[in-house]
Structure 1
Amino acid sequence: MQATITTPGPFVKRADAVSLWLFIAAGAAIAVWVAWSAVARIIDVLPNHDVAVLAVFAGTPAEAPIGPDGAPVAVALEEAWLTVPELPIAALWAIVIQQVLLVATVVTVVTALIWLSRNLARGVAFSRTNTALVATAGIVGLLGYVAVPFFGNMAANGGFAAISDRTFDNVIMSVDPFTLVLAAFVVAMMSTVFSIGERLQRDTEGLV
Structure 2
Amino acid sequence: MRSRDGRPSMIEAVTLGLVATGAVSIGVASVVGAVGAGVEIFGSPVPVSLPVHGAGMASLSDAEGIAAAEYTQSLVSVDSLDAGARWLLFAEVALPTVATVIVCLSLWWLGLSLIRQRAFRRSMASVLGTAAIALVAAGMIGPFLGGIGRAEVVERLEMSGADTSQFWAFLVSADLAPIGWGIALALVATAFEVGQRLQRETEGLV
TM-score (ref. length: structure 1): 0.77
Encode CA deviations 1:122-164: one digit per residue, 9 max, x unaligned: 2222221211121111111211222222222222212222233
Which of residues 109, 130, 136 in structure 2 aligns to 1:136?
130
Which of residues 34, 38, 59 in structure 2 aligns to 1:38?
34
Q: Which amino acid aligns with 1:38?
A: A
Encode CA deviations 1:3-55: one digit per residue, 9 max, x unaligned: xxxx9613x44323222211211121112122122222222222332x21233
| Count of aligned residue pairs for this structure pair | 196
Is the contact made by 1:62 and 1:74 (CA closer than 8 Å) also made in structure 2?
A: no
Which of residues 130, 149, 157 in structure 2 aligns to 1:155?
149
Encode CA deviations 1:40-99: one digit per residue, 9 max, x unaligned: 2222222332x2123345xx2222234668xx9842444443333433432112123344
Which of residues 104, 122, 125 in structure 1 aligns to 2:98?
104
Is the contact made by 1:131 and 1:195 (CA closer than 8 Å) also made in structure 2?
A: yes
Is the contact made by 2:139 and 2:175 (CA closer than 8 Å) also made in structure 1?
A: no
- Going from structure 1 to structure 2, the CA distance change for 1:53 and 1:101 (only over 3 Å counts) comes to same
Shift of 1:115: 0.9
Match of 1:92 in 2: 86
Indicate the SS of the match to 2:105.
Answer: helix
Shift of 1:198: 0.9
- Going from structure 1 to structure 2, the CA distance change for 1:128 and 1:82 (only over 3 Å counts) comes to same
Is the contact made by 1:38 and 1:99 (CA closer than 8 Å) also made in structure 2?
A: yes
Alpha carbon RMSD of aligned pairs, Å? 3.0
- Going from structure 1 to structure 2, the CA distance change for 1:96 and 1:79 (only over 3 Å counts) comes to same
CA distance in 2, matches of 1:102, 1:141: 7
Shift of 1:193: 0.9
Is the contact made by 2:48 and 2:76 (CA closer than 8 Å) also made in structure 1?
A: yes
Is the contact made by 2:140 and 2:179 (CA closer than 8 Å) also made in structure 1?
A: no
Percent identity between matched residues is 26
Match of 1:191 in 2: 189
CA distance in 1, matches of 2:19, 2:51: 33
- Going from structure 1 to structure 2, the CA distance change for 1:79 and 1:122 (only over 3 Å counts) comes to farther
Unaligned runs of 5+ in 2: none
CA distance in 1, matches of 2:68, 2:201: 66
Q: Which amino acid aligns with 2:55?
A: A
